[in-house]
Amino acid sequence: MADTGAVPTPPTSPPQGPLARAERFVWLTAHVLEQHLFAHHFRDGGAGPVETALDAYRNEDGGYGHGLEPDLRGPVSQPLHTARALRVLDTVGRCGGRRAEDVCRYLTSVSTADGALPAIHPGQRGYPAAPFVPVVDDPPGELLATGPVVGLLHHSEVWHAWLFRATDFCWRTTESLEGSHPYEVQAAVTFLDHAPDRTRAEAAADRLGRLVRRQRLAALDPDDLDAYPVAPGYAPGEHHFPHDYARTPDSLARAWFTDEEMARSLDFLSAEQQEDGGWPVRWRQWAPGPSLEARPMVTIEALRTLEAYGRPAG
């Protein structure tokens, strides 16, 4: 048959099934990093392209910047950007070696006297940032920033002098919490899920779970959200659910919830997929760009959580 030079016509029918719809959403909206992450987790893509895409956000000081965490703009390294980079590297099995040494060098340079990380380093000043993450000149160390970093480095069996002080800070802070808010609890869970002292971690997680239920920090009935308070400073309707704390069945936070409570939570998560194939951003939205960039991240995380609980979307 003669080659007519005609361009094949792409299919016009919409994709079928939750995973196919999510994939289309990722291709429509996501950066290259999230495209490769989706391919890695759901289409047998390799880890190398993910690592290469992540390098675009890496700075010479060993930290990460350039809007990797969408609510912080500008090129400068920040602990929250670096925590997200470690989450990405951890999920693809590349969180170690020289890269981890460089990250720890950066973390050492920005930590407080007690080895903790500030949520926002003053270097952010002059660049756009979400109004709910104010920049101050002498920020304190926070579990919110330190817990995830320390937990992920322990998970990858990274050892560095900075980790000793930072681990002590996480233990001290987690075990002394008398009140908290969802994002701080999530940070503590990441630390406890990977802390080397498992007996101590289980005891601390049990105490933290009782705090979560006492403060009603987890919405246990998605059909009655008015019964659960929204944490001060959070967006209206910014509730957190059991699956937000126990992202996998082997998380210590899974023991905080009954099977029925977890099933309702996962049903709610599955039903949250939007018409365009993506999942919504629940936190406060302050500019169009960050919100658009965050949705593919939220979508991939939702799919991974459902898959971890035996509810694959495809």
Q: What pLDDT is attached to residue 314?
A: 67
Burial class (CB in 10 A: 0-12, 13-18, 19+), 113: exposed
Residue 288 located in a structural domain: no
Residues 8, 25, 88: CA angle, nearest 5 degrees: 120
Residue 60 located in a structural domain: yes
Q: What pLDDT is attached to residue 12?
A: 53
Residue 294 located in a structural domain: no
Query: Distances in Å between the alpha carbon of 71 and those of 1, 74, 138?
Result: 55, 10, 20
Residue 136 located in a structural domain: yes
Residue 299 located in a structural domain: no
Residue-number span of the structural domain to which 79 is assigned: 46-161
Helix axis angle for 198-215 and 182-194, nearest 10°, is: 160
Q: What pLDDT is attached to residue 28?
A: 97
Q: What pLDDT is attached to residue 149?
A: 97
Q: What pLDDT is attached to residue 4?
A: 45
For the chain (length 314 residues), average pLDDT per consecutive 10? 46 74 97 98 97 97 97 97 96 91 96 95 96 93 98 95 96 97 98 98 98 98 96 95 98 98 98 97 94 97 98 81
Residue 9 located in a structural domain: no
How close are the terminal C-alpha atoms of the chain, in Å?
A: 38
Three-state SS for 36? helix
* The total number of structural domains that make up the chain: 1
DSSP per-residue letters across 47-71? HHHHHHHHGGGB-TTS-B-TTSSTT
